[in-house]
């Protein structure tokens, strides 16, 4: 018998705590001021809802000193004589690391700097202005909250997030955006969704499909843009900025500032993703692992908390046909055969995304649930 995952994670939460966690979580949520509100109040000891359980705390937080680094791919020449070479690099990275960084991707440096600055300003403005956006209603295109899974996770993360979701082909009403970051966010979305199309072409070719394949099945159709703010943390060894997880998306493009803290699980150890000025991190999401029938890997990653902060990052999740025009996906026919039968069932992105939002993020069972 299969158990409802959201119920399973709730049970875990109940058995590991000997205090009224739900009540303390609710009180924190009710402040609508997020983790930044705790830091502004001058707390020295972090509240226990953020403290990881003892068996997790014994685990090493620092990433291992290793010579291996997430591959860096130079996109210069992608429309010319470098295409084949770039496709080979994308294939190698997607099959092994599930992660790579791109440089010379065509998004101007000032567009990257301005959204980072805009998100910092949004979080550091008058708390009353921020509260107007505080909600857990996923039907809202623009929403601010601390920890999307606050009420389900075992441990809360040291992070606040402003999220924007929409169809890539239609502009939201400019008035829906917070004023302090409106122009910067709109400009970044225009650029990052275009880069997404280029990356889906490269990934299609890397899978041995025609360049338009992933675009034609709608991979870049809808996006969700979580813009994260990780305040400096007085006790960074006790908590995490983001618990280990893989992304419920086809592909994620991540912009991070220069502080660092993102780690990828590779070869049985956590490896830090070194920030590159002007670079962007790209990772394969769960949905692409499914449609590629496991050729490409959706890999676990996390963010450690730090004394130095705030750290700002902006993720762009490409969701395929999700909320607006739902469509089901499964392993691509051209990629399966008698010797290589489909190993996943068909799924709806909206179904997976809802599950992810109603279960603890460290319950990394989304892909397992889809296994035939
Ligand atoms: C995410 C994520 C990493 C970061 O939003 O899914 O993994 O560096 N973010 O903020
Ligand atoms: Ni992620």
**3-class secondary structure, 200:** helix
Estimate the crossing angle of helix 182-206 against helix 109-124, to 10 degrees. 130
Question: 56-65, 82-91, 176-185, 238-247: lowest mean pLDDT where?
Answer: 56-65
Residue 358 pLDDT class (50, 70, 90 cuts): low
Q: Is the pLDDT of residue 363 over 70?
A: no
Nearest residue (by CA) to ligand 1, atom 1, is 315
Cα end-to-end span (Å), the chain: 15
Single pTM value for the model: 0.93
CB count within 10 Å of CB 7 equals 10
- Nearest 5°: phi and psi at 24? -70, -35
Task: Give 215-267 pLDDT, tens digit per residue.
Answer: 999 999 999 999 999 999 999 999 999 999 999 999 999 999 999 999 999 99
How many angstroms separate the CA atoms of 81 and 76, rounded? 10
Q: Is the CB of 228 under 6 A from ligand 1?
A: yes
Q: Is the pLDDT of residue 6 over 60?
A: no
Residue 17 pLDDT class (50, 70, 90 cuts): low
Q: Is the CB of 256 under 6 A from ligand 1?
A: yes
Q: Are 253 and 227 in contact (CB under 8 A)?
A: no
Give the Å distance between the CA of 301 and the centre of ligand 2. Answer: 6
Q: Is the CB of 262 under 6 A from ligand 1?
A: yes
Nearest residue (by CA) to ligand 1, atom 8, is 262
Give the Å distance between the CA of 303 and the centre of ligand 1. Answer: 7
Most trustworthy range by pLDDT among 7-21, 259-273, 321-335 = 259-273
Nearest residue (by CA) to ligand 1, atom 5, is 315
Q: Are 53 and 15 in contact (CB under 8 A)?
A: no
Average pLDDT over residues 50-73: 84
Q: Is the CB of 162 under 6 A from ligand 1?
A: no
Task: Give 296-322 pLDDT, tens digit per residue.
Answer: 999 999 999 999 999 999 999 999 988
Give the Å distance between the CA of 338 and the centre of ligand 2. Answer: 34
Q: Is the CB of 301 under 6 A from ligand 1?
A: yes
Q: Is the CB of 147 under 6 A from ligand 1?
A: no
Checking phi first, is residue 231 left (phi over 0); if not, alpha (psi -120 to 50) or beta? beta
Nearest residue (by CA) to ligand 1, atom 10, is 313
Nearest residue (by CA) to ligand 1, atom 2, is 315
Q: Closest ligand 1 atom, CA of 283?
A: 7
Residue 360 pLDDT class (50, 70, 90 cuts): low
Q: Is the CB of 160 under 6 A from ligand 1?
A: no
Task: Give 159-211 pLDDT, tens digit per residue.
Answer: 999 999 999 988 899 999 999 999 999 999 999 999 999 999 999 999 999 99
Give the Å distance between the CA of 247 and the centre of ligand 2. Answer: 5
- pLDDT for 65: 64
Q: Are 316 and 251 in contact (CB under 8 A)?
A: no
- Nearest 5°: phi and psi at 83? -50, -50
Q: Is the CB of 52 under 6 A from ligand 1?
A: no
Share of the chain above pLDDT 70, in %: 91
Cis amide prior to 249 (ω within 30 degrees): no
Residue 13 pLDDT class (50, 70, 90 cuts): very low
């Amino acid at each position: 018998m299969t158990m409802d995952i959201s119920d399973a994670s709730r049970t875990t939460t109940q058995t590991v705590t000997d205090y009224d966690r739900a009540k303390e979580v609710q009180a924190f949520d009710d402040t609508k001021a997020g983790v930044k509100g705790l830091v502004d109040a001058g707390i020295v000891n972090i509240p226990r809802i953020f403290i990881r359980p003892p068996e997790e705390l014994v685990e090493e937080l620092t990433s291992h000193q290793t010579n291996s680094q997430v591959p860096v791919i130079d996109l210069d020449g992608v429309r010319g004589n470098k295409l084949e070479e770039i496709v080979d690099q994308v294939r190698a990275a997607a099959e092994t690391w599930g992660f790579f960084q791109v440089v010379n991707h065509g998004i101007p440096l000032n567009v990257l700097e301005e959204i980072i600055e805009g998100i910092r300003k949004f979080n550091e403005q008058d708390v009353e202005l921020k509260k107007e956006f505080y909600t857990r209603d996923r039907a809202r295109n623009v929403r601010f909250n601390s920890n999307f899974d606050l009420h389900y996770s075992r441990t809360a993360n040291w992070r606040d997030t402003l999220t924007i979701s929409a169809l890539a082909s239609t502009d939201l009403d400019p008035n829906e955006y917070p004023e302090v970051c409106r122009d910067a966010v709109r400009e970044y979305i225009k650029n990052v969704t275009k880069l997404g199309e280029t990356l889906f072409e490269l990934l299609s070719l890397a899978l041995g499909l025609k360049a338009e394949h992933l675009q034609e099945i709608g991979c870049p159709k809808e996006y969700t843009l979580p813009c994260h703010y990780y305040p400096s943390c007085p006790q960074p060894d006790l908590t995490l900025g983001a618990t280990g997880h893989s992304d419920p998306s086809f592909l994620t493009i991540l912009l991070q500032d220069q502080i660092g803290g993102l780690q990828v699980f590779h070869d049985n150890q956590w490896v830090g993703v070194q920030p590159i000025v002007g670079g962007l991190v790209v990772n394969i999401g769960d949905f692409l692992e499914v449609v590629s029938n496991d050729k490409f890997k959706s890999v676990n990653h996390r963010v450690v908390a730090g004394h130095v902060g705030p750290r700002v990052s902006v993720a762009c999740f490409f969701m395929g046909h999700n909320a607006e025009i739902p469509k089901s996906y499964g392993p691509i026919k051209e990629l399966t055969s008698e010797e290589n039968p489909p190993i996943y069932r068909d799924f709806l992105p909206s179904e997976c995304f809802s599950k992810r939002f109603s279960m603890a993020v460290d319950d990394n069972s989304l892909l397992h649930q889809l296994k035939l």
